[in-house]
Amino acid sequence: MSPLVATDDFTTAVVGDMTLVLSKSETPYEIGKNFHFRTGTCLIYAEHIRISDCVKFPGKDLGIFCYCLEVTKSVDIDVFGKSHSATRTGSTTKTESSGAGAECGSTPMHRMPRG
């Protein structure tokens, strides 16, 4: 995703460590195998979003806000932290595991009235 793209009904911008996508296009904004972002957070605000494939963004935040969400098949959106990324205190030996990854939280889905 380029740092700034703008048309009459679509724009993206990078602000600090956040990518912002705004779309009022009738064409769905697609999240699939070619979707990527380089910042720590990506927020997508669109009228219509299509999720067409599984995506992985380890340790990143992805916010999806839309009126119409289309899922073309069974998909996973994986933003779970990197393996062994949880904070650990004390000393460890080479044979001791550094622990499981950090808690990934939850993915709330809300149906909002249009208007």
The band of 12, judged by pLDDT with boundaries at 50, 70 and 90, is very high
- Kindly tell me if the per-residue pLDDT of 107 is higher than 80: no
51 located within any domain: yes
91 located within any domain: no
106 located within any domain: no
**75 contacts 51 by C-beta, under 8 angstroms:** yes
More confident residue, 86 or 110: 110
107 located within any domain: no
41-52 tens-digit pLDDT: 999 999 999 999
pTM of the model: 0.67
65 located within any domain: yes
96 located within any domain: no
Domain with 60, as residue range(s), is 4-78
56-80 tens-digit pLDDT: 999 999 999 999 999 988 888 888 7
The band of 111, judged by pLDDT with boundaries at 50, 70 and 90, is low
For the chain, what is the domain count? 1
Burial of 18 (0-12, 13-18, 19+ CB in 10 A): middle
